[in-house]
Amino acid sequence: MQKIGFIGLGVMGKPMAKNLVKAGYPLSVYDIDSDAVKEVVKAGAKQGNTSSDVAAQSDVVITMLPNSPHVKEVVLGKDGVLDGAKAGLILVDMSSISPLVSKEISEETKKRGIEMLDAPVSGGEPKAVEGTLAIMVGGSEDTFNKVKQILAVMGSSVTLVGEVGSGNTTKLANQIIVALNIAAMSEAMVLATKAGVNPEKVYVAIRGGLAGSAVLDAKMPLVLKGHFKPGFRIELHIKDMLNALETAHELGVPVPLASQVTEFMQALKADGKAADDHGGIIQFYEKLTKVEVRKQKHI
């Protein structure tokens, strides 16, 4: 069985790592948050002292980090993955970062005989806990096949979409669609509530029709409860959207709707809601209209 190293034990990474332990994989872990490391070690993993140390013990290293600079530092920096990796190691970066940075890192790993996949995920913390994430993978088919079983422990949908960088391009497309879905849901439900119609009844009425979606079913029940504890924080969605805008602009692709929703989220961040779940985009509309879309006592 392949020895796995896991670097990055945040909201998503921690349950993902725990699922690998449950599946019986020998796992070594590292994170700057010592409490997160202790929790995963308690579940059965081995503690690594640095990213380099984890790489030295592993056949496959998985990174799950906030953004492009963090991945570059962990992989290419001092005491990073490349400092400890042997030729033949496979690096699977499951962070959501710029596709261009994924390609840049891959070029550096190739010089050391290390293959890389970019494999960002969708589904938020609940799906990470369940092991039912959607995983979008970029890289060679041969490398993908070597780690597909590992990825299947963390996701119910694992798809090779193209060369390195394609995984993160797919994730950016995903994040645009999710953001616009949440904004559309928010706009519609604030309109209904302002008009005096029970938003819970509106949700029940439309969810089975063409307006129904996975986003609507995941976020609307939480909105009705006023529950904005993060499964995926607004500030992280902003990061993804900025990566999407940068990539789109470099390719000459206009993304006016994505630009506008990004500004909605930036406004929420300025209003102190950066750590709210991205379903909290509705609060942008609620503040403007002075209504709250919440479950009513009597339906």
Buried b (16+ CB within 10 A) or exposed e, 105-138: bbeebeeeebbbbbbbbbbbbebbbebebbbbbb
Q: What pLDDT is attached to residue 296?
A: 85
Question: pLDDT per residue over 52-68, tens digit each?
Answer: 999 999 999 999 999 99
Please compute the mean of the pLDDT values over residues 231-244 and round it to a whole number: 94
Measured between alpha carbons, how far is residue 139 from residues 154, 162, 233 in Å?
Answer: 18, 6, 28
Q: What pLDDT is attached to residue 251?
A: 94
Least Cα distance to 34 among 23, 47, 20 occurs for 47
* Boundary (domain end) residue, out of 164, 183, 210: 164
Predicted confidence (pLDDT) at residue 261 exceeds the cutoff of 60? yes
Quick one: tokens of 103?
């390609």
Residues 150 and 185 in one domain: no
From the DSSP assignment, how many helices (H) and strands (E) are in the chain? 14, 9
Q: What pLDDT is attached to residue 299?
A: 46
Question: pLDDT per residue over 167-186, tens digit each?
Answer: 999 999 999 999 999 999 99
Least Cα distance to 280 among 197, 182, 210 occurs for 182
Q: How confident is the model at residue 298 (pLDDT cuts 50, 70, 90)?
A: low
Question: pLDDT per residue over 78-108, tens digit each?
Answer: 999 999 999 999 999 999 999 999 999 999 9
Residues 142 and 218 in one domain: no
Any domain includes 102? yes
Q: How confident is the model at residue 231 (pLDDT cuts 50, 70, 90)?
A: confident
Q: What pLDDT is attached to residue 47?
A: 98
Residues 109 and 178 in one domain: no
Cβ atoms of residues 184 and 118 within 8 Å: no
CATH of the domain at 31: 3.40.50.720
CA distance 105 to 72: 7
Question: Is-catalytic flag, 110?
Answer: no
Residues 37 and 108 in one domain: yes
Residues 98 and 200 in one domain: no
Cβ atoms of residues 185 and 282 within 8 Å: yes
CA angle 102, 148, 44 (to 5 degrees): 95
Residues 131 and 273 in one domain: no
Any domain includes 145? yes
- Rounded to the nearest integer, the mean pLDDT of the chain is 97
Residues 64 and 111 in one domain: yes
Residues 134 and 176 in one domain: no
CA distance 190 to 26: 49
Please tell me which residue in 14, 18, 127, 171 is annotated as part of the active site: 171
* Boundary (domain end) residue, out of 149, 164, 179: 164
Pairing of strands 4-7, 27-30: parallel
Instruction: Work out the percent of the chain whose per-residue pLDDT is above 90.
Output: 96
- Please, is 239 exposed, middle or buried when counting C-beta atoms within 10 Å of its C-beta (0-12, 13-18, 19+)? middle
For 131-161, the DSSP string reads T-EEEEEES-HHHHHHHHHHHHHHEEEEEEE
* Boundary (domain end) residue, out of 164, 198, 227: 164
Any domain includes 242? yes
Any domain includes 295? no
Any domain includes 226? yes
Q: What pLDDT is attached to residue 21?
A: 98
Any domain includes 221? yes
Residues 173 and 159 in one domain: no
Predicted confidence (pLDDT) at residue 194 exceeds the cutoff of 60? yes
CA distance 94 to 73: 15
Residues 174 and 256 in one domain: yes
Question: pLDDT per residue over 128-146, tens digit each?
Answer: 999 999 999 999 999 999 9
Please compute the mean of the pLDDT values over residues 23-33 and round it to a whole number: 98
Number of domains forming the structure of the chain: 2
Domain that holds residue 204: 169-289
CATH of the domain at 189: 1.10.1040.10
Any domain includes 75? yes
Any domain includes 245? yes
The residue assigned the tokens 């790592």 is 17
Instruction: Work out the percent of the chain whose per-residue pLDDT is above 70.
Output: 99
Q: How confident is the model at residue 208 (pLDDT cuts 50, 70, 90)?
A: very high
Q: What pLDDT is attached to residue 277?
A: 96
Predicted confidence (pLDDT) at residue 279 exceeds the cutoff of 70? yes
Residues 113 and 248 in one domain: no
The residue assigned the tokens 């953001």 is 179
Residues 278 and 184 in one domain: yes
